Structure formats: structure tokens, C-alpha cells
């Protein structure tokens, strides 16, 4: 009986130790989430307006080099930019992105994949490690962006994707990530990065009336890369906030589960202790009775 009590005591200590860790991780993620959430909320209106402007400009522009980012080519060579995290313990945050990526390849790009024409740029170590292990065509050139998150680092990846598309290394570029809704909710998204979709004009629609200063060509040459860099950065910020929200939620649930397990273990411990005391009393009474006999 003493061995059983010791085993339950050890389990209680182990669960209490784990609970302290999950509590601490929840608090750390909550603090990081507040900062990450502020960043994405402030970025969204700006990014949305820029995207609207870009699509409008391209929709009202004919020919020339400014159309290169919206050039529609047969989708033969595909680049998928997959955003995961560097660390685990975030519930299904990483596995959901990985599953969606595999599903997208199987359902939309199966033929290209068979020909070896699907390339993955993994940002975040978890996605990179998984796809390398499973022998996908993976580049880890930008996998460490989340370690030192800044617009400059993100811009380098966005510009590399734009250049690869312009050089016809890829015909389609899509970003797969978790879009931040709130601390407990993330929405899986497959977002077309390139070619930039143009707004289809409907009958009777008036063309947007833009006055270009300086020239249209000069403005668009400067504008398009900056807008695309901003869109890419928004996706990164979305994923970053989603990660901390998912981890905070996961650690909160783990803490609750530990509390419930502790309650069950303490009941088991008290029952075993009571059984041990009853056994000892029975032995004492039996011994006393034997002496009296």
C-alpha cells in the first residue's frame, strides 16, 4: 500500500510541475499575442486599401511592363509559400497548415507535382522540417524569418518571389497560412500572391479615374513592388498573431486538463491513504484481540 501511495504522490508532483510550465507558457503567449494582435489590426486597413488600389490600377492599364505581375500564364510551375511556426505546443496550428498544403497539391496541383514542378518555400521550422522529411521539393532560404521578424526580412522574401515570377521560374505563387480572427480562432487561407488578380469590370462600370503624377509608368514601377511587399508582410503578421493565439489557447486547455487530472489523482491518493489507515487499524485491533485471547 505504501508503494501505491508513493507512486500517486510522484504523479501529483509531476502534474503540478507540468501545470506550472503550461501556466507560464500561457502568460508568455498572452503577452506576445497582445503585441502581435495590435500589429495585424493596424496593418489590415492599410493593406486592404493598397490591394484595392493595385487591382484597380492593373484593371485600367493596358500592356507594358507594369502588367508583368498580373500576367496570366498556364499554371505549369507552382510556388507555394507555407507559413508555420518555429516551435510546437500550439495545438493544431502547424498540422492544419501542413494538411491544407498537402490537400492543395493533391487536389489542385497533382499534375504539376508529378512532374516535379511544385516548389515549397517554408517560412517557419515546423513546416520546413516536415516537408523535408517527406521529400517534397523544399527551400529553407527564408525559414528563419520568425526568429527576427521585421519588414526588411519579410520584404526580401516577397521580392525574391516577385523576381522568380517575373523571370518565369513560377507561373503561380500562393501563400498558405493561418489568418488571425481572435485569440481562439484562426482561419486557414490559401491566398493568391502572383499573378495579381485584376478586378473584372461589369457592364456599365466606370473606370477608376486616376490622375498620375509623375508618369503612370514611373508611379506603377514604384507602387507595385511596395504593395506586394505589404501584402506579404500582412500574411506574415496574420500567421504570427495566430501562432500566439493558438499557443495561448492550447496552454490554457492544458492547464485546465492538468487541474482536472490533479483532482482525480488527489481523490485516488485520499482513497488509498484511507485504505492504508483502515488496514493498519484492522491489524492493530486484530493484534490486540490476539494478545487478549
* pLDDT value at residue 53: 76
Within 13 Å of residue 241, how many CA atoms lie on the same side as its CB?
25
Top-confidence residue, 59 or 143: 143
Q: What is the pTM of this model?
A: 0.84
104-108, 151-155, 278-282, range with the lowest pLDDT: 278-282
Residue 12 belongs to some domain of the structure: no
* pLDDT value at residue 205: 56
* pLDDT value at residue 65: 43
Q: Grid coordinates standing for 271? A: 482513497
Per-residue pLDDT tens over the stretch 200-212: 555 555 555 666 6
Separation between Cα atoms, residue 213 and residue 191, nearest integer Å: 31
Inform me whether the pLDDT recorded for 241 exceeds 50: yes
What would the mean pLDDT of 253-276 be, rounded to a whole number?
A: 89
* pLDDT value at residue 216: 66
Residues whose CB is less than 8 angstroms from the CB of residue 19 and which lie 6 or more positions away in sequence, other chains included: 255, 258, 259, 262
* pLDDT value at residue 119: 98
Residue 3 belongs to some domain of the structure: no
Residue 262 belongs to some domain of the structure: no
Domain assignment of residue 224, given as a range: 31-199+209-251
Inform me whether the pLDDT recorded for 30 exceeds 90: yes
* pLDDT value at residue 162: 94
Residue 162 belongs to some domain of the structure: yes
- Structural domains counted in the chain: 1
Residue 128 belongs to some domain of the structure: yes
Residue 171 belongs to some domain of the structure: yes
- Give yes or no for a contact between 15 and 261, defined as CB atoms under 8 angstroms apart: yes
CATH number of domain containing 120: 3.40.1380.10
Residue 104 belongs to some domain of the structure: yes
What would the mean pLDDT of 160-187 be, rounded to a whole number?
A: 95
Separation between Cα atoms, residue 195 and residue 60, nearest integer Å: 16
* pLDDT value at residue 64: 46
What would the mean pLDDT of 35-43 be, rounded to a whole number?
A: 95
* pLDDT value at residue 275: 78
* pLDDT value at residue 8: 85
Residue 73 belongs to some domain of the structure: yes
* pLDDT value at residue 254: 95
Amino acid at each position: 500500500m505504501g508503494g501505491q501511495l508513493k507512486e500517486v504522490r510522484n504523479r501529483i508532483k509531476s502534474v503540478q510541475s507540468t501545470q506550472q510550465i503550461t501556466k507560464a507558457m500561457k502568460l508568455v503567449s498572452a503577452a506576445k499575442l497582445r503585441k502581435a494582435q495590435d500589429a495585424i489590426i493596424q496593418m489590415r486597413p492599410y493593406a486592404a486599401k493598397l490591394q484595392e488600389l493595385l487591382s484597380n490600377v492593373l484593371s485600367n492599364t493596358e500592356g507594358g511592363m507594369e502588367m508583368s505581375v498580373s500576367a496570366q500564364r498556364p499554371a505549369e510551375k507552382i510556388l507555394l509559400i507555407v507559413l508555420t511556426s518555429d516551435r510546437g505546443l500550439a495545438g493544431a496550428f502547424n498540422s492544419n497548415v501542413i494538411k491544407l498544403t498537402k490537400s492543395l497539391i493533391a487536389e489542385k496541383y497533382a499534375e504539376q507535382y508529378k512532374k516535379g514542378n511544385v516548389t515549397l518555400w517554408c517560412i517557419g521550422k515546423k513546416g520546413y522540417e516536415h516537408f523535408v522529411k517527406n521529400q517534397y521539393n523544399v527551400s529553407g532560404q527564408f525559414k528563419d524569418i520568425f526568429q527576427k521578424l521585421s519588414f526588411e526580412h519579410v520584404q526580401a522574401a516577397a521580392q525574391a518571389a516577385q523576381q522568380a515570377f517575373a523571370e518565369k521560374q513560377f507561373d503561380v505563387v500562393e501563400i498558405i497560412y493561418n489568418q488571425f480572427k481572435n485569440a481562439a480562432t484562426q482561419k486557414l487561407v490559401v491566398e493568391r500572391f502572383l499573378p495579381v488578380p485584376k478586378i473584372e469590370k461589369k457592364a456599365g462600370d466606370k473606370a477608376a479615374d486616376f490622375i498620375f503624377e509623375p508618369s503612370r509608368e514611373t508611379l506603377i514601377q514604384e507602387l507595385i513592388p511596395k504593395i506586394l511587399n505589404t501584402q506579404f508582410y500582412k500574411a506574415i503578421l496574420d500567421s504570427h498573431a495566430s501562432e500566439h493565439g493558438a499557443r495561448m489557447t492550447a496552454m490554457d486547455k492544458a492547464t485546465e486538463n492538468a487541474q482536472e487530472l490533479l483532482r482525480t489523482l488527489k481523490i485516488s491518493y485520499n482513497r488509498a491513504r484511507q485504505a492504508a489507515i483502515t488496514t493498519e487499524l484492522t491489524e492493530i485491533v486484530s493484534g490486540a484481540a490476539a494478545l487478549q485471547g
